[in-house]
Amino acid sequence: MADSAAKRETDSAETDELSPKVKRAKADNENGGGEAGEEPESGVILSGFKTSAVLRDSAREKNIFIHGKFADQDAVVILEKTPIREDTLAELFSGSKLKLDMRNDIYSTYRLQAPPHLNEIKATVVCPATEKHVKKYQCQDSFLVEETEKDYESITLPYIQKQSFSVQWVYNILEKKAEAGRIVYEDPDPEVGFVLLPDFKWDQKQVDDLYLIAITHQKNIKSLRDLTSEHLPLLQNIFQKGKEAILQRYNLPASKLRVYLHYQPSYYHLHIHFNKLGYEVPGCGVERAHLLADVIQNIQSDPDYYKTRTLYFPLRADDGLLGKFKEAGRL
């Protein structure tokens, strides 16, 4: 039910299901609680990966999604070029080699060979990967679904309950079993509290593509559909304290933040997205993102706003929920 590349919202793609030999492929030790002592393993992990198929690649976003195997385990490997940072430009210009491709009047193009540490590729490993994970990263058409209150009760909710999407990796974070060192801010209150930490799309080396996730300590809120007036203190607390924490840590004011929820979400535990305004992160479009400020105001106007209103959202062609809507004659 997700649309974007290489993201934390992964229908449990980033869970504690990772096998011991492949659970650590990211340089910042994300989603598994790895320690510095595991770093040598990171250097050789991809040598055992056997490619089966390229699921999707994007020259514009400079990433590629590959299906394959580690030994007898299915896996998906995501490779993406890291951003060029302003603070590395001087070293990039002085330490790189240029090879001329073409020159015409005032225009010339070159192939630039940067120093290795300035030419990194971020690698994300999902292993063991299920068929759902493989389909998730394939290039597919999307369809806009119209979900009424009745549709949610008769189609979406039964589907969610039957699928039992794993959120164990979320509980690992909340219980400090994983990623404890990456938490930017925490309010431990069991009712209105949350943890704020970087989404793994963000390499944390510049604020231009800042992306953090606030995950609630409450475990019984699946999505936007569950929110009522009783949750206003929680939402307001996240909105206010999340912005304050980002200002203090990254010197980024609230006026430069996009704060929103997804519907449908990719995992069914309430979480809020914080992006730098201007960073066009996948999933921030109007067909899926709901600004937290709007959500709060809508619930203040009508306590059951999200329980009763018709919601629209995109689903990929292979999504099981899309199939349920087709079976019900709703698409």
Q: Judge contact between 247 and 212, C-beta under 8 A.
A: no
Query: Domain check: are 201 and 290 in the same one?
Result: yes
- What's the pLDDT at 317? 85
Find the CATH number of the domain harbouring 176.
Answer: 3.30.428.10
Q: Is residue 6 part of a domain?
A: no
- CATH at 68: 3.30.200.40
State the residue range of the domain holding 248.
138-327
Q: Which helix (H) or strand (E) holds 111?
A: strand 107-113
In the set 117, 271, 273, 290, the catalytic residue is 271
Q: Does residue 271 carry a catalytic annotation?
A: yes
Share of the chain above pLDDT 90, in %: 61
pLDDT of residue 76: 93
* pLDDT > 70 in the chain, percent: 87
Angle at which helices 292-301 and 232-250 pack, to 10 degrees? 160
106, exposed or middle or buried, with CB in 10 Å at 0-12, 13-18, 19+?
A: exposed
Distances (CA, A) of 284 to 64, 160, 262, 278, 299: 21, 23, 8, 11, 21
Are 156 and 119 contained in the same domain?
no
Same domain, 78 and 217: no
pLDDT computed for residue 41 by the predictor: 52
Residues 121 and 145 placed together within one structural domain of the fold? no
87 and 236 inside one domain: no
Same-domain check for residues 223 and 146? yes
Same-domain pairing of 293 and 216 = yes
The H-or-E segment that residue 274 falls in is strand 271-276
Distance CA 325, CA 186 (A): 39
Bridge partners of 289, per DSSP, are 262
pLDDT in tens, 210-243: 999 999 999 999 999 999 999 999 999 999 999 9
Percent helix / strand / coil, the chain, rounded to 5: 30, 25, 40
Q: Is residue 133 part of a domain?
A: no
Q: Does residue 5 belong to any structural domain of this protein? A: no
Query: Are residues 104 and 146 located together in one domain of the fold?
Result: no
Rounded CA separation 219/191 (Å): 10
Residue 191 lies in a domain: yes
**Which pLDDT tens digit goes with each residue over 251-278?**
999 999 999 999 999 899 999 999 999 9
Same domain, residue pair 146 and 114: no
Return d(Cα 176, Cα 174) in angstroms, integer. Answer: 6
pLDDT digit string, tens, across residues 7-63: 444 333 333 333 333 333 333 333 333 333 344 455 567 888 999 999 988 887 788
Specify whether 173 is located in the same domain as 322. Answer: yes
- Does one domain contain both 116 and 182? no
Q: How many domains does the chain have?
A: 2
